[in-house]
């Protein structure tokens, strides 16, 4: 076969492949080309195309591609215009909403506060910026109930860091601060057990304080059957404080509120937390003690859309609380200016040490024994007096 015929076969194969690709991409140009090929008298009878046909097909392919690029550019331009209009509408709506909201200066004037003293409200971006960590640790000698309570507290605090039990008994504050520094913690909860029956809870901010020491009583853990509530592990709690922690309350309760908020308040965006609020942690003051409860928030679900609409118009769906646990009572003992040490800022005058309570109980039992012995002695004395007062019978020895 001569070389010229090889070249013509290669050209014919290339033109056929190009023609098939054009038919798949665009039907109209391929049909138009077919018509032109039929009308062209220079086309050979064996179905081979000339060089002019190949060039025309390449030109038509370039036109098709250019038309597709123009259509894509038009679509992008339309999308950009719609986005800009939506952004302008959103900005106008946000401007109108912001204009309707009262500013911080207006609120300050309403409350009678100097506007220069009010700090601007922080803006949240949704990222994990507030990197808080809480150290939870205990000493040796804790009982099973105290150990379960510590595990429950670690469950409630997703941003916690734990460590092994402390063997140190002399300088506990220094040891806790060193562990908190190693773990990069800025708050700490420390359980101290004495005589395997008295447990004290320390809570504070590290390394500069302040810190508070509580006597922990009336402990009930999550494992008890009567606490039937449940919540998502790692969910962020709503912290509820009664009026004693408010502006009109005592100063030491305000300090305790800030410490408890730092310890139990889960930071926003923490990797181990969940973006839900399905529980509320409550702190109440009664009998100069802080009663801590943890509840699950249960919202009533509507059976259909009509009922949901009706409930929403009236007062909303019914909400109830079910206790999850743990529950315990905190009796404040002393507030320190430093981290588990330092100057005493407050000391509870109504606090009675459990050692004193047990001593009084033992003394009460000793008094009961002492009174019983004194009563026996009085009985013996009275019996002797009665026997001494009896006169001797003169006829006692007559009938011997």
Confirm whether pTM is higher than 0.85.
no
Provide the strand spans (E) within 4-159: 134-138
- Tell me which DSSP letter residue 139 carries: B
The region, left, alpha or beta by phi > 0 then psi within -120 to 50, assigned to residue 220 is: beta
Provide the strand spans (E) within the chain: 134-138, 160-162, 187-194, 198-205, 211-220, 238-241, 279-286, 289-299, 319-323, 327-336, 344-347
Q: Tell me the C-alpha distance between 311 and 306, whole Å.
A: 9
CA neighbor of 164 nearest in space, from 185, 186, 135: 135
pLDDT at 27: 47
Label residues 249-261 b or e (16+ Cβ within 10 Å = b): beebbebbbebbe
- What mean pLDDT do residues 191-218 have? 92
The region, left, alpha or beta by phi > 0 then psi within -120 to 50, assigned to residue 308 is: alpha
- 3-state class of 65 per DSSP? helix
pLDDT at 386: 77
Q: Tell me the C-alpha distance between 371 and 376, whole Å.
A: 9
Convert the pLDDT of each residue in 259-269 to its tens digit. Answer: 999 999 988 88
Per-residue confidence band for 282, with pLDDT thresholds at 50, 70 and 90: very high
Structure tokens belonging to residue 100? 């309707």
Concatenated DSSP letters of 323-375 = E-S-EEEEEEEEEESSSSSS-EEEE-TT---HHHHHHHHHHHHHHHHHHHHHH
Convert the pLDDT of each residue in 300-320 to its tens digit. Answer: 777 888 887 777 777 666 788
Per-residue confidence band for 77, with pLDDT thresholds at 50, 70 and 90: low
Measured at the CA of 95, the angle between CA 90 and CA 98, to 5 degrees, comes to: 125
pLDDT at 223: 86
With 50 as the cut, is the pLDDT of residue 52 above it? Answer: yes
Convert the pLDDT of each residue in 215-241 to its tens digit. Answer: 999 999 998 878 888 888 889 999 999
Quick one: 378 exposed, middle or buried, by C-beta within 10 A (0-12, 13-18, 19+)? exposed
Q: Quickly tell me which residue has 């508070």 as its tokens.
A: 212
pLDDT at 34: 42
Convert the pLDDT of each residue in 8-45 to its tens digit. Answer: 454 455 555 555 555 544 444 444 444 444 444 444 44
Which residue did the predictor score with more confidence, 272 or 126? 272
Neighbours of 170 (CB within 10 A): 6
Q: Tell me the C-alpha distance between 174 and 195, whole Å.
A: 22
pLDDT at 343: 93
Q: How far apart are the first and last CA of the chain?
A: 176
Provide the strand spans (E) within 206-318: 211-220, 238-241, 279-286, 289-299
- 3-state class of 66 per DSSP? helix
With 50 as the cut, is the pLDDT of residue 4 above it? Answer: no
Convert the pLDDT of each residue in 357-372 to its tens digit. Answer: 988 888 888 888 888 8
Asked if 294 and 279 touch (Cβ cutoff 8 Å), the reply is yes
Asked if 141 and 134 touch (Cβ cutoff 8 Å), the reply is no
CA neighbor of 340 nearest in space, from 149, 189, 136: 189
Average pLDDT, the chain: 78
CA neighbor of 290 nearest in space, from 351, 343, 221: 351
pLDDT at 124: 58
CA neighbor of 261 nearest in space, from 285, 278, 286, 236: 236
285 DSSP β-pair partners: 290
pLDDT at 400: 65
Contacts of 191 (CB under 8 A, 6+ apart): 137, 138, 139, 142, 146, 149, 150, 199, 200, 201, 202, 216
pLDDT at 263: 94
Q: Tell me the C-alpha distance between 188 and 259, whole Å.
A: 10
CA neighbor of 265 nearest in space, from 281, 254, 245, 249: 281
């Amino acid at each position: 076969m001569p070389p010229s015929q090889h070249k013509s076969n290669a050209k014919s194969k290339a033109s056929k492949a190009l023609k098939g690709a054009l038919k798949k991409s665009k039907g109209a140009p391929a049909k138009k080309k077919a018509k032109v090929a039929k009308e062209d008298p220079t086309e050979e009878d064996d179905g081979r195309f000339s060089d002019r046909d190949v060039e025309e097909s390449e030109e038509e392919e370039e036109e098709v591609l250019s038309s597709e690029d123009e259509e894509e550019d038009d679509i992008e331009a339309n999308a950009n215009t719609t986005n800009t209009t939506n952004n302008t509408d959103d900005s106008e709506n946000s401007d109108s909403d912001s204009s309707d909201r009262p500013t911080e200066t207006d609120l300050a004037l309403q409350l009678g506060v100097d506007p220069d003293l009010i700090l601007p409200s922080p803006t949240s971006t949704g990222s994990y910026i507030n990197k808080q960590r809480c150290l939870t640790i205990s000493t040796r000698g804790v009982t099973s109930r105290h150990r379960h309570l510590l595990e429950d507290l670690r469950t409630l605090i997703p941003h916690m860091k734990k460590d092994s039990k402390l063997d140190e008994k002399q300088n506990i504050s220094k040891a806790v601060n060193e562990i908190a520094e190693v773990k990069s913690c800025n708050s700490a909860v420390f359980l101290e057990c004495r005589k395997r029956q008295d447990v004290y809870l320390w809570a504070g901010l590290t390394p500069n304080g302040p810190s508070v020491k509580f006597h922990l009583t009336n402990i009930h853990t999550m494992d008890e059957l009567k606490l039937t509530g449940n919540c998502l592990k790692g969910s962020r709690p709503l912290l509820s404080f009664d009026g004693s922690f408010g502006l009109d309350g005592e100063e030491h309760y305000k300090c305790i509120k800030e410490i408890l908020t730092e310890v139990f308040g889960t930071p926003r965006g923490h990797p181990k937390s969940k973006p839900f609020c399905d529980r509320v942690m409550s702190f109440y003051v009664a009998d100069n003690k802080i009663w801590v409860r943890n509840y699950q928030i249960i919202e009533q679900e509507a059976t259909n859309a009509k009922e949901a609409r009706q409930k929403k118009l009236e007062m909303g769906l019914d909400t109830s609380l079910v206790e999850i646990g743990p529950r315990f009572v905190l009796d404040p003992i002393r507030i320190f200016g430093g981290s588990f040490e330092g100057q005493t800022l407050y000391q509870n005058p109504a606090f009675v040490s459990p050692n004193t309570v047990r001593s009084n109980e033992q003394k009460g039992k000793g008094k009961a024994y002492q009174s019983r012995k004194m009563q026996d002695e009085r009985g013996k004395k009275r019996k002797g007096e009665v026997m001494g007062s009896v006169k001797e019978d003169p006829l006692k020895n007559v009938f011997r």
